[in-house]
Structure 1
Amino acid sequence: MIPAMALASGRVWHQRREPFSHRFDYPLWLVWCELEQTGSLLDRHWAWGRRWRPVTFRDRDYLDNNDTPLAQKARDRAAAEGLDWSGGRVFMLGQWRTLGTLFNPLVLYFHIPEGSDQPDSMLAEVQNTPWREKHLYALRLSADDNGELTVDHSKDFHVSPFLPMALRYHWRLHVAFPELRLTLQDKQGETVVFAAGFTLHLEPPEKAAMGRVIRRFGAQGFATLRGIYWQAWRLWRKGARFYSHPNKADND
């Protein structure tokens, strides 16, 4: 059964494999919510709302800067990218603004067709650091022999200054509610240069749980940025090559 809304908590990990090894992981919580049900989720706890709450949901925080309902924006963007999301259910998995802070390296939007318990496609909204640019990948998912959902495509957006553009992304998604696993590999030819992923457990958004994630994780957007810059400093100390932003390089 696909939950309409849930609190997703677990760990996210990153592993650099070439030209040296560098790995870290940290705890994470995200919101899983059917986009037409965001209001119902906010109504479950006084500390969650659309304005001036410890956890705040704003439509303009996602996809673009306007206040069009996110459900409509996601379906419209999918259509513009050649995906048919006119029917079925659309879910998001991402951070919501917590204690006034928000930084989402990745927000995933899943389309689950009527009568199915697995997504057939997704939008991956990627944000880079420190430029705070956004890019959207529209991806059709295919099931492999193990029942995992996969897709691969070229890298079209500069994310980390320590990774080149000439890479190919390989996604692997395992959806078995209440468990959700994702692995993303960056390959240069057949060589895995970098991999990242998360393992999450979805729990019902009961009132006690909704308050507990605020107390446990606090301002997660700030913690995410702090972790990114700390790991970037460690990579620099190890001698990782720095790749300029392609747009900046073109203007030099």
Structure 2
Amino acid sequence: MNAAAHEKASLYWCRIMHERLLPFRHKFTYRVFSLLLDIDALPELARHSALFRHNRFGLFSLHDKDHGPRDGSPLRPWVETQLRQHGLDAAAAHIRLFCFPRLLGYVFNPLSVYFCYDQLDRLRAILYEVKNTFGDQHGYLIEVEDCGERLLRHGVAKQFHVSPFMPLSGQYDFCIRPPAENIAIQIRHTGAEGLRLLATQTGRREAFSDRALLKAWLRHPLMTLKVIGAIHWEAARLWRKGAAFFRRPEPPVSAVSHISSPVKHAPGD
């Protein structure tokens, strides 16, 4: 794989943790890997890789229909439209998608993140893309002031039903370290009664290459199946513990919720 392709993609070795705190404690952790991909470079990455494919079956692949409008159309026009509608045109110069790839044709991404940069490669917007196991999807678009590699904090009202064991009400508070040599995403779901859920994903970078992909496959050969399997296994455990069940409401009419106020740097960082 050539040097130019290396600069347009990275692999991150990650640890995911979920901890439910109310009305009882329930915690689990697992190891995964994620890819950070320049959405304009997907065809090029596929051409120069023996293991990665774009919109085709492969050991590793990314399909446009798994993200954005989910109709198979290219991702850039859809992301550009979301940014333009909210006055964030400058953030569309470089768009990098952080997500799980398909492994042997299968993936489920509970959370994918678009990091949107201006012409000077400054992070200007973050678009969180959230999916549930009912087939629904919703996005949260956040404006960002230039932050370098500092931690960012922002909060949004929860708009989208994710788990049948969590109510739709409440607030998400995000704390995120943009991708560099490391990445960190923390999500706190808070309700009137206090902190309901704490979820984190932290990772360290490795250069994108066929060797790195092969190593990821050998370490986690069934990772994408493990993700969906773990979701249902933990749901069964919650049900056995007596967690309240909340029926799925209709998803939001708008595909993306926009948070207009810029995010703030985390104190002391």
TM-score (norm 1): 0.89
The range that moved more, 199-208 or 209-218, is 209-218
Q: Which residue of 2 aligns with 1:44?
A: 48
Q: Distance in 1 between matches of 2:88 and 2:159?
A: 19
Q: 1:233 to 1:181 in 2, by over 3 A?
A: same
Q: 1:39 to 1:165 in 2, by over 3 A?
A: same
Runs of 4+ in 1 over 4 A off after TM superposition: none
Question: 1:239: Cα distance to partner?
Answer: 1.3
Letter in 2 for 1:135: H
How many residues are matched?
244
Q: Which residue of 2 aligns with 1:11?
A: 15
Q: Which residue of 2 aligns with 1:164?
A: 167
Aligned pairs (5 A) from 1:44-63? 44-50=48-54, 51-63=56-68
Q: Which residue of 1 aligns with 2:3?
A: none
Aligned pairs (5 A) from 1:125-140? 125-129=129-133, 131-140=134-143
Q: Distance in 2 between matches of 1:179 and 1:168?
A: 26
Assess if the C-alpha contact under 8 Å between 2:50 and 2:210 holds in 1. Answer: no
Q: Distance in 2 between matches of 1:52 and 1:246?
A: 34
1:75 and 2:80 equivalent?
Answer: yes
Letter in 2 for 1:25: T
Q: Which residue of 2 aligns with 1:197?
A: 200
Q: Distance in 2 between matches of 1:127 and 1:176?
A: 21
Letter in 2 for 1:102: V
Assess if the C-alpha contact under 8 Å between 1:101 and 1:219 holds in 2. Answer: no
Question: 1:21: Cα distance to partner?
Answer: 0.9
Q: Which residue of 2 aligns with 1:89?
A: 94
1:105-150 residue CA offsets vs partner (Å, 9 max, x unmatched) = 0110011223345x22111111112x11111111123589x93111
Assess if the C-alpha contact under 8 Å between 1:11 and 1:198 holds in 2. Answer: yes
The range that moved more, 95-104 or 68-77, is 68-77
Aligned pairs (5 A) from 1:185-224? 185-189=188-192, 191-224=194-227
Q: 1:85 to 1:217 in 2, by over 3 A?
A: farther
Q: Distance in 2 between matches of 1:206 and 1:58?
A: 19
Q: 1:75 to 1:247 in 2, by over 3 A?
A: closer
Unaligned runs of 5+ in 1: none
Q: Distance in 2 between matches of 1:86 and 1:138?
A: 12
Structure 1 counterpart SS, 2:250: helix
Structure 2 counterpart SS, 1:122: strand
Letter in 1 for 2:205: L
Structure 2 counterpart SS, 1:221: helix
Assess if the C-alpha contact under 8 Å between 2:94 and 2:121 holds in 1. Answer: no
Q: Which residue of 2 aligns with 1:184?
A: 187
The range that moved more, 70-79 or 155-164, is 70-79
Assess if the C-alpha contact under 8 Å between 1:143 and 1:150 holds in 2. Answer: no
Q: 1:194 to 1:3 in 2, by over 3 A?
A: farther
1:208-246 residue CA offsets vs partner (Å, 9 max, x unmatched) = 112221222224322111000000111111111111112
1:155-186 residue CA offsets vs partner (Å, 9 max, x unmatched) = 00000011111110000001362100010000
Q: Percent identity?
A: 25
Q: Which residue of 2 aligns with 1:123?
A: 127
The partner residue of 1:239 within 238, 242, 262 is 242
Q: Distance in 2 between matches of 1:113 and 1:240?
A: 44
Question: 1:88: Cα distance to partner?
Answer: 2.6
Q: Distance in 1 between matches of 2:225 and 2:11?
A: 19
Q: Distance in 2 between matches of 1:62 and 1:85?
A: 22
Letter in 2 for 1:26: Y
